[in-house]
Structures are given as C-alpha cells and as structure tokens.
Amino acid sequence: MIQTLKKISQNVALIGVVLSVSWLGIGVGQNITRQVFMITAQAAPPASATSVVTGQNDRYENLELFQKVLHFVEANYVEPVKNKDLVYGAIKGMMETLDPHSNFLPPDVFKEMKVDTSGKFGGLGIEIGMKDNILTVISPIEDTPAWKAGLKSNDRIVKINSESTKGMNLVEAVNRMRGKKGTDVTLSVYRDGWENVRDIIITRDIIKIQAVKHEELEPEYGYVRLAQFNENAAADVKKAIQKLESGKKLRGLVFDLRYNPGGLLDQAVEVSSLFIDSGVVVSTIPRNKDQKEVKYARKGDARKDFPVAILVNSATASAAEIVAGALQDHHRAIIMGQPTFGKGSVQQVIELGPEMGLKLTIARYYTPSGRSIQEKGVQPDIILDDFDPKLLAEARRKQDYFREKDLKGHMVNTDEGDSKSSKDEYRKEELDSLSKSGKKGKAAEKLAVKDKDKDKEKDEDDLTPTKMNPKEDFQVREALNYIKSYDIFRKLAVTVPGGTATAKKE
C-alpha cells in the first residue's frame, strides 16, 4: 500500500501516440501525462476491516509464492542467474498482464525518457505500435531517415539488427532502435505484396521536425498540416493561418492531422482554442472519478469566421484525436478521412528510484460530449478513401469533350472581355495529338520493353519516399470541395417542417 507519494518534478502533461517522437524519434503508441513520483512505501485506502484483512492475507500468500519460486530458480536453475535479472523479469511479466502502454522502465530505458519535448532528438523518425502482436510502423515522419529509407505505414518490423521482435514490447523495441547519430540500424521489414522480408539499413540522425506546413490550395482557401503537438504547435498553426491570409481573408481551411501521433496535452487545448473560444476541450477521468480533470478552451484567439475540414486517418492519435473530437463535438469542423487510432488513455511516469521507473495507465480521456474514443477512435463525419495520386492520375479517364465553342463559325462570347476569335488557332488538345501522332510507331516498339520492366520499376518504387503534395492529394481535394460547397448550400432555400428556412443573402 502507498503511504507517501512525494512529487519530485513539475507536472508536464504529455500526450502522444509516441514514447514520444520527441523522446526517441520512434513512436510507440503512447498517451502520456508525465508526472514523476517517488514511491516510498506500499499502501491503499482500506474499504473495510474485513476486506483489508482478506486483501493482506492474499498478498502475503502471493508474495510467499513468489519468494518460493525465486529461491527455487536461484538455487536449482541449470546455470547461475542474477537475482536482479529474475526480479526485473518478474516485474516485466507483471506489467505485460496490463494494457500495452504500461511498461517497466529499467535504467537504460528510463534514462532516455528524461529527454524533453523540444522537438529535436536523435533517432529514426518513425512512430511504431503493436498490430496483431507484431511491431508495426504507424507512420514515418517526412524528411527523416526512416522516411528517406522508404518505410511506410503498416510495414511490419520482424527483426532489429538480426534480433527477432517476436515477444518484444514497445519499450524494448525503442531501446534497440535508438543510438548515436551516424550509426546504423538494420530493420528486417515485411510489407503486404512482398514475397520476402527485406533488410533496410537506416542511419540514425538528429531529428528536427517541421511541425507545421501551410499552402494555398486556391485563392482564399488554405491548407495547414500539423505533424506533431510540440511546444510551439499552437503558435505555429496561428502564424500559418496569418500567412495564408496575407492580403486576403480566408473562406475555408483544410486542417490536416493525418499521421499526427500527438504530443503535448496543453498544446492540444491551445490548438483547439484557435477555433473555439469556450467550453470543454477534453476531460480525464482516473479510477477515482472524484479526481476528474477538465480542460477548457482559452478565450481570445478563436477564428470562427470560416469553415474548417479536418483530415484524419488511422495514424491520427492522442492529442490529435483530442482536437478532432473537440471540434467535432462543438460543431466547429467537419471531420473527414478514416477512423482515428483510438488511443484514449493517459499514462503516468513513476520514478521507482534514481535509475528506473514505471509507466502506468492511470486515466481515460473523454471528448466534450462525454465520448471515450478508446479503441473506437474518432469517427469521421465523411469517410474518405485514400488513393495514390500517381495511380489516380493514371486511372482518370481521358476524354475529348465537344462543345459549342468547337463548332466552326460559332458566336464569340464578348461578355468575357475577349472578342478575339480562336477559330484560326490550334487548341492545346490538337497540338498534343499532333505531337504524339508521329511517335505511335516508336511507342508500339517500346511497349514490350516497358511491360518487361514494369515489375522491376514497381519493386524499386516500393522503397522510394513519396513527398506529399496537398494539391495532388485526393483527400485534400475532396475536403476542399466540401468546404467550397459550404457557400453554395448556405444560400439554398430549404423547406423544413413548419415552414421554410432560407439562407441569408450576402
């Protein structure tokens, strides 16, 4: 039972699908509220005299059983074994009976967890998690060593430096992937569609994440991508919106949270406050429900004068899920894409001594409407499939359309301010067809060679990093279309029971 909990460090709310990206450069599917405590004794508040006596008797019996096994193994195992190794192994086994985010942190791992969340760290640049009990890449971070090496979401890591990952927990996997800048780590990776496991050598580096990127999709319609909730996330998102509005006012924003593993809880609240200025953002509820903690939106910075579409997918986790869930519940944004990761729990880091610790799940978090997204994730308002832009461009049907303007001698529309007739000029389509007509023979000759090399090219493309271009991204374009339709739909006259609702004319 715990008699004393001595707080030895400032509370830092840290939520993320990583252990974190800022700590290790390798994600591990974690949601963390970082509160480090020193345990000085064991205790628990008694429910009744009978239950206390019964519980104590059970504990003594179980501890006696443990002591017997420990003594027997030390005395009779075929080879000498250290007492520390047996105890560490027992603690590790105990933690594995809990959820996958609760872990024992031996000295070498605990030391790495004392790194802050500045956004600069050494590692590979991937978020990882367990899928079907196999170490799986959630997503590589763009422009990092893992991304440049060609790792992709859902790749299964079966070996690390020739050591099998079967039975290896996330903390152990992270510890094996970390190392000094410039050193190599070999990951044996299997991907759907591959015949065999491939060894991919990745050189560790110092990772500096550009958490926020922005781009104008069309005049007055912007795009902002948030890759991680680091300590500057809200300020950088605000600056990005201001840059998009340079000289003009936004009529709509696509806010991309895909592949965002999370980060700092306070930044999730701050980012939400950029779009809502009142109400609950998130609640955390531990086993003792009387200790419920509620985070509210901060007033003063909210932009509510343009529609927002938030893009999410299965790698959107933790702090990113908090923002998506909050804006969805407040009806401030439309959520589009695929259901999110579903990490709805909070972990606490407990210091067991100067060199070791424990990471324990201590609470669940809830959206403003009281939804727990644990396991379920945030469900999008609009489900959008994701398509490879290259394949989509190839699959798009090409067709020449015949219109009035193609008729010989058609009347020119002088209302457009251009009275010049184009009847004597070649259309671009005609020029394209002319330039290609002389190459048909050569193209036919090369067709067999292209087919022969297709499999080889596809194999090479498997490990080619793909830089995301929002203007070519299918989901971004669809989100933009939905936002643009907002101005159209709000002008429609809609008949409702009891009368007619007509949108306000501008």
Q: Which two tokens stand for residue 354?
A: 């100067």
**What is the DSSP pairing of strand 126-131 with strand 120-123?**
unpaired
Distance (Å, rounded) from C-alpha 498 to C-alpha 373? 37
Q: Which amino acid is at 392?
A: L
Q: What are phi and psi of 150, to 5 degrees?
A: 95, 10
Q: Which of 273, 343, 359, 473 is the catalytic position?
A: 343
Question: Where does residue 502 fall: left (phi above 0), alpha (psi -120 to 50 degrees), or beta otherwise?
Answer: beta
Strands 26-27 and 126-131: parallel
Is 318 considered catalytic here? yes
Q: Are strands 156-160 and 163-164 parallel, antiparallel or unpaired?
A: antiparallel
Of the candidates 308, 310, 320, the residue with the CA atom closest to the CA atom of residue 344: 320
CA dist., res. 13 & res. 349, Å (int): 11
Q: How far apart are CA 331 and CA 318, in angstroms?
A: 20
- What is the enclosing helix (H) or strand (E) of 446? helix 440-461
**Catalytic annotation, pick one of 205, 256, 329, 473:** 329
Tell me which of 188, 318, 345, 473 is the catalytic residue: 318
In this structure, are residues 81 and 69 in contact, taking their beta carbons and an 8 Å threshold? no
List, by residue number, the catalytic residues.
318, 329, 343
